[in-house]
Amino acid sequence: DGGITQSPKYLFRKEGQNVTLSCEQNLNHDAMYWYRQDPGQGLRLIYYSQIVNDFQKGDIAEGYSVSREKKESFPLTVTSAQKNPTAFYLCASSISSSYNSPLHFGNGTRLTVT
Amino acid sequence: AQTVTQSQPEMSVQEAETVTLSCTYDTSESNYYLFWYKQPPSRQMILVIRQEAYKQQNATENRFSVNFQKAAKSFSLKISDSQLGDTAMYFCAFKDNAGNMLTFGGGTRLMVKP
Given a cut of 80, is residue B100 above it in pLDDT?
Answer: no
**Which whole-number Å values give the CA distances from B29 to A19, B1, B32, in the listed order?**
38, 10, 7
Distance from the Cα of residue B34 to its chain's centroid = 8
Q: Does any CB of chain B come closer than 8 Å to the CB of residue A55? A: no
* Contact (CB<8Å) A40/B50: no
The per-residue pLDDT for range B36-77, each reduced to its tens digit, is 999 999 889 999 999 999 888 999 999 999 999 999 999 999
| Residue A90 CA from chain centroid, whole number | 6
Q: Is A103 on the interface with B (CB under 8 A)?
A: yes
- Are the C-beta atoms of A6 and A92 separated by less than 8 Å? no
Rounded CA separation A30/B94 (Å): 20
Closest Cβ–Cβ partner in B42, B97, B101 for A45: B101
Please list every residue in chain B whose beta carbon sits closer than 8 Å to the beta carbon of residue A108: 43-44
DSSP A73: B
Residue B101 pLDDT: 79
Q: Do A88 and B43 touch (CB under 8 A)?
A: yes
Give the pLDDT score at A98.
78
Q: Which of B10, B101, B110 to mutate to test the interface with A (most CBs of A within 10 A)?
A: B101
C-beta atoms surrounding A42 within 10 Å? 20
Cβ <8 Å between A102 and B105: no
- Nearest by CB to A100, from B52, B101, B109: name it: B52
A42 contacts B47? CB cut-off 8 A: no
**Is the per-residue pLDDT at A56 higher than 90?**
yes
Confidence band (pLDDT; 50, 70, 90) for A43? very high
Identify each DSSP E strand in chain A by its residue range: 4-7, 10-13, 19-25, 31-37, 43-51, 54-57, 64-66, 76-78, 87-94, 104-105, 109-113
Beta-bridge partners for B68: B75
A49 pLDDT above the threshold of 90? yes
Task: Give CA angle at B77 (A45, B31), nearest 5°.
Answer: 60
Closest residue of chain A to B95, computed from CA coordinates? A99
Summary mean pLDDT of chain A: 92
Q: CA of A5: which chain B residue's CA is closest? A: B44
Tell whether A90 lies on the interface with B, counting CB pairs under 8 A. yes
Give the confidence band of A27 by pLDDT, cuts at 50, 70, 90.
very high
* Residue A36, min C-alpha distance to chain B (Å): 11
